[in-house]
Structure 1
Amino acid sequence: MSVASETPVLDTLAAMTVDSIERCGLPPDMLILTRIAALAASDAPPLSYAAHIDPAMRADVTVERLQDVLVAIAPIVGTARVMTAAGNIAAALGIAIAVAEAEAEAEIESEG
């Protein structure tokens, strides 16, 4: 039986990411960077990148490492896909910031 949630799709994707990290032989940072490369190659939307922000932060993935991955895949996936990926990553970060701000505001309101 499933547990009710307001965000079942995001919850499932987050759980899959956590499960993948636990089951994969790659170090967590390499796993996330590999996933980012796959997202770029598949022309994924911003929400797909957003699901990887928290795991990337937990794995200490740096902006420099992320940029290195985009540089490395550019000759394979093409300039347009890499530029789209960079824009989608920026949009995903904007989504994450907006969600964090909304959660902080809700917490402040519930305390007041």
Structure 2
Amino acid sequence: MTIASETPVLDTLAAMTADSIERCGLAPDTLILTRIAALVAMDAPAVSYLAHLEPAMSEHMTAEQLQDVLVAIAPIVGTARVMSAATHITEALGIAIAVADADADESRGGM
């Protein structure tokens, strides 16, 4: 029997992601780009993109690489999905910036 967690859904998603990464033979940057393409195809919400920002930054992904993925998949998923993804990615970046600002304010003593 497993021990109950306060965040069972997040814990499960994290475990699934870790298992997927461990079993995948793609290069890390290709893996992230592939996952982002899948998020676009699924019309994922901003929080899903937010979960991929840190790994993307760890792999030194650029905005140009992300744009290239969106351009590459646009004929397959359609313009509506690509525009939706662009909006959700922008929202995710905004959330990440707000969290970073709040953390910086907290570390400076709440100024």
If the TM-score is normalised by the length of the shorter chain, which range does it land in?
A: 0.7 to 0.9
Compared CA separation, residues 102 and 10, structure 1 to 2 (3 A)? farther
The yes-or-no answer on 1:87 pairing with 2:87 is yes
Determine the C-alpha separation between the residues in 1 that align with 2:9 and 2:97: 19
> After superposition, what is the alpha-carbon deviation per residue over 1:62-99, rounded to whole angstroms, capped at 9, x for unaligned?
11111111001000100010011011101100000001
Determine the C-alpha separation between the residues in 1 that align with 2:96 and 2:103: 11
SS of residue paired to 1:60: coil
Match of 2:70 in 1: 70
Match of 1:61 in 2: 61
Determine the C-alpha separation between the residues in 1 that align with 2:95 and 2:13: 16
Once structures 1 and 2 are overlaid, which stretch shifts more, 10-19 or 27-36? 10-19
Determine the C-alpha separation between the residues in 1 that align with 2:105 and 2:51: 22
Compared CA separation, residues 10 and 90, structure 1 to 2 (3 A)? farther
Determine the C-alpha separation between the residues in 1 that align with 2:94 and 2:10: 17
Superposed CA RMSD: 2.2
Aligned partner of 1:93: which letter? L
- The total of aligned residue pairs comes to 109
Match of 2:49 in 1: 49
Match of 2:28 in 1: 28
Q: Structure 1: state its 5+ residue gaps.
A: none
Q: Does the CA-based 8 Å contact 1:14-1:51 persist in structure 2?
A: no
Compared CA separation, residues 67 and 89, structure 1 to 2 (3 A)? same
Fraction of identical pairs, as percent: 68
Determine the C-alpha separation between the residues in 1 that align with 2:95 and 2:9: 16
Determine the C-alpha separation between the residues in 1 that align with 2:70 and 2:42: 13
